[in-house]
């Protein structure tokens, strides 16, 4: 398929990076080409003027949120459970297998508490270095409907701004351990320290029941176990994370020509684009940033040749 030069210019114009990025690439071509070579491995096939492109899916991390003798940690359970029984779960989180995102499925609104999303967004960012979390929900007959995605740090600060006691609980929990051994440049902790941090955080949000506004607490069981948290559904998530939530998506359209799929992805914004099916059902995440970088690399190479 042949693409006219005007079409190619339009593609560059609609991308987030302006022509100045291409000029910077020319100036630092030798250093950047080596870097972009590794990033470009995700883009399987690219020819600039014929523009035959296949989008590359981003690897997903799929943790098991419960374990033997450990309740589902997304939901209301005693802080005391999160001790040595959580080793298997935290071991998954710190694993180095390649993955860039995890799915947070809110279901019908009774799957995730705000407190649990807060602490696991912190851990998934620090222990695993995930680039984003993808949020889904169930509406009517549609399961796994795409809501949006956000970086772990954005999720933390969005929740902290709306529910300030979560950040206070985290600071208090963190301060109870005096000798943290940082394991990576993103702040990963030793396994035992991470388990202790989560347990102390949960103790903080479960003490002083009904302190403040009783409507901000959630309970389970009899006698009730209280936690300073709210259940998350799609509407609440959008209100809390509105400044951080990226909703970039496009139809999966497997029969669309590769060039048209690439153009559609480039017209979106952000580092990723979600591919969705009927009813907005989430399929996978594709790496728009890698596509832009590979396109810039080929543009520089062809311009300098």
DSSP structure string for 120-162: HHHHIIIII--SEEEEEEEETTEEEEEEEEE-HHHHHHHHHHH
Task: Give the predicted TM-score (pTM) of the model.
Answer: 0.81
The mean of the pLDDT values for the chain is 84
- Closest by Cα among 193, 228, 242, 233 to 90: 193
Q: Answer with the one of 188, 222, 240 that is the final residue of a domain.
A: 240
Domain that holds residue 282: 5-58+248-304
pLDDT: is 215 or 39 the higher one? 215
Examine the pLDDT at 42 and tell me if it is beyond 60.
Answer: no
Domain check: are 265 and 226 in the same one? no
pLDDT for 274? 97
Do 162 and 300 belong to one domain? no
Task: Name the percent of the chain lying above pLDDT 90.
Answer: 53
**What SS3 state is found at 165?**
helix
What pLDDT is attached to residue 51? Answer: 45
pLDDT in tens, 111-146: 999 999 999 999 999 999 999 999 999 998 899 999
- pLDDT at position 84 over 80: no
Is the per-residue pLDDT at 279 higher than 70? yes
Tell me, yes or no, whether 224 and 104 share the same domain.
yes
The pair of structure tokens assigned to 260 is 């048209």
Q: What is the DSSP letter of 59?
A: P
Residue 30's pLDDT is 52
Examine the domain organization and report whether 105 and 49 are in the same domain. no
Structural domain count, the chain = 2
Q: Which of 240, 258, 282 is the endpoint of a domain?
A: 240
107 inside domain: yes
Verify that 79 and 181 share a domain, yes or no. yes
DSSP string computed for 261-286: HHHHHHHS-SSEEEEE-GGGBEEEEE
Give CA separation, 180 vs 90, 127, 152, 197, 232, in Å. 16, 13, 21, 10, 31
User: Among 240, 263, 296, which residue terminates a domain?
Assistant: 240
Asked whether the predicted pLDDT for residue 234 surpasses 80, the reply is yes
How many CA atoms lie within 13 Å of 283's alpha carbon, on the beta-carbon side? 17
How far is residue 68's CA from residue 60's CA, in Å, rounded to a whole number? 24
- Both tokens of 216, joined, read 């901000």
The reported pLDDT for the residue numbered 117 is 98
Domain identity same for 143 and 292: no
Asked if residues 39 and 293 have their Cβ atoms less than 8 Å apart, the reply is: yes
Task: List beta partners, residue 57.
Answer: 286
Task: Return the structure tokens found at 12.
Answer: 């560059």
In tens, the pLDDT along 145-188 reads 999 999 999 999 999 999 999 999 999 999 987 788 888 888 88
Mean pLDDT of the region 260-286: 93
């Amino acid at each position: 398929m042949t693409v006219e030069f005007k079409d190619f210019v339009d593609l560059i114009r609609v991308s987030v990076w302006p022509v100045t990025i291409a000029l910077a690439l020319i100036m630092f071509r030798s250093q950047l080409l080596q870097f972009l070579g590794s990033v470009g491995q995700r883009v399987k096939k690219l020819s600039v003027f014929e523009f035959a492109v296949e989008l590359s899916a981003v690897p997903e991390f799929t943790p098991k949120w419960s374990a033997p003798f450990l309740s589902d940690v997304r939901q209301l359970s005693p802080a005391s459970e999160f001790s040595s029984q959580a080793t298997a779960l935290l071991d998954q989180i710190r694993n180095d297998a390649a993955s860039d995102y995890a799915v947070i499925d809110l279901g019908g609104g009774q799957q995730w508490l705000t407190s649990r999303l807060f602490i696991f967004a912190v851990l998934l960012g620090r222990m695993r270095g995930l680039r984003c979390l993808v949020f889904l929900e169930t509406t009517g007959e549609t399961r796994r409907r795409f809501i949006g995605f956000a970086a772990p740090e954005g999720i933390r600060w969005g929740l902290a701004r709306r529910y300030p006691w979560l950040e206070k609980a985290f600071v208090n929990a963190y301060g109870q351990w005096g000798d943290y051994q940082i394991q990576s440049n993103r702040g990963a902790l030793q396994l035992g320290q991470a388990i202790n941090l989560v347990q102390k955080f949960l103790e903080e949000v479960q003490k002083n029941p009904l302190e403040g506004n009783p409507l901000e607490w959630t309970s389970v069981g009899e006698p009730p176990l209280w936690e300073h948290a709210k259940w998350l559904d799609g509407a609440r998530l959008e209100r809390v994370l509105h400044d951080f939530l990226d909703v970039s998506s496009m139809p999966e359209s497997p029969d669309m020509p590769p060039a048209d799929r690439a153009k559609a992805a480039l017209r979106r914004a952000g580092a990723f684009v979600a591919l969705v099916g009927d009813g907005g059902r989430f399929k996978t995440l594709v790496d728009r940033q890698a596509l832009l970088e590979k396109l810039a690399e080929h543009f520089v190479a062809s311009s300098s040749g």
